[in-house]
Amino acid sequence: MDTILIVEDDKNLQTTLTQILKETGFAVISTMWGSMALEEVKRGSSELVLLDIMLPGMNGMEVLEKIRKIDKYLPVIMITGYGSAESAVRAIELGAYDYINKPFDYEILLKKINKALKSNIRKKGNFFRKIRKLKFFR
């Protein structure tokens, strides 16, 4: 079972996403804090991140930059209610796998998630995460 990390400050959306993803067969970890998300990424506890751009404290773009320093292959889908062409381009430049504007169709989001989880970047990431967990490489 794949685990998805949701980083979203809107509690209602966080709850709805959690419910939908669990019903679809995913395990879910959720937080509204970028710092907590980074700790989860360091633990290697998720196979994909849904990351809001507008977060308290550290914004989603900053979190994305830090995620890429920890794990450059972890698929990250950016979600935002304040989307613009500039922010979409910036997110992709920083290494986001995809980008979706709120409000979004949950079926489209699920397709993006499944596509990301089947992607070559995810397979590469799984390989490097396994190597990193070996004591020899620490």
Torsion (CA) 138, 123, 116, 71 in degrees, nearest 10: 20
Alpha-carbon separation of residue 5 from 41, 89, 114, 134, 135 (angstroms)? 9, 22, 14, 23, 25
pTM of the entire predicted model: 0.85
| Nearest one of 31, 34, 42, 39 to 6, comparing CA atoms | 31
Q: What is the pLDDT of residue 128?
A: 57
Domain boundaries, the chain: 3-137
pLDDT at 111: 96
pLDDT at 86: 83
pLDDT digits (tens, 9 = 90+) for 2-31: 999 999 999 999 999 999 999 999 999 999
* 77-107 residue pLDDT tens: 999 887 677 888 888 899 999 999 988 899 9
Cβ-based neighbour number of residue 96 at 10 Å: 22
Q: Residue 9: exposed, middle, or buried by beta-carbon count in 10 A (0-12, 13-18, 19+)?
A: middle
Q: What is the pLDDT of residue 22?
A: 97
Distance, in Å, from the CA atom of 99 to the CA atom of 8, rounded to the nearest integer, reads 14
* Residue range 107-123: mean pLDDT, rounded: 85
Q: Which CATH class, in words, describes the domain spanning 3-137?
A: alpha beta
56 prior amide bond cis, ω within 30: no
Point out which residues pair with 48 in neighbouring strands: 4
| Mean pLDDT for the stretch of residues 113-127 | 74
Give the model's pLDDT for residue 108.
Answer: 96
Report pLDDT digits (tens) over 26-67: 999 999 999 999 999 999 889 999 999 999 999 999 999 999
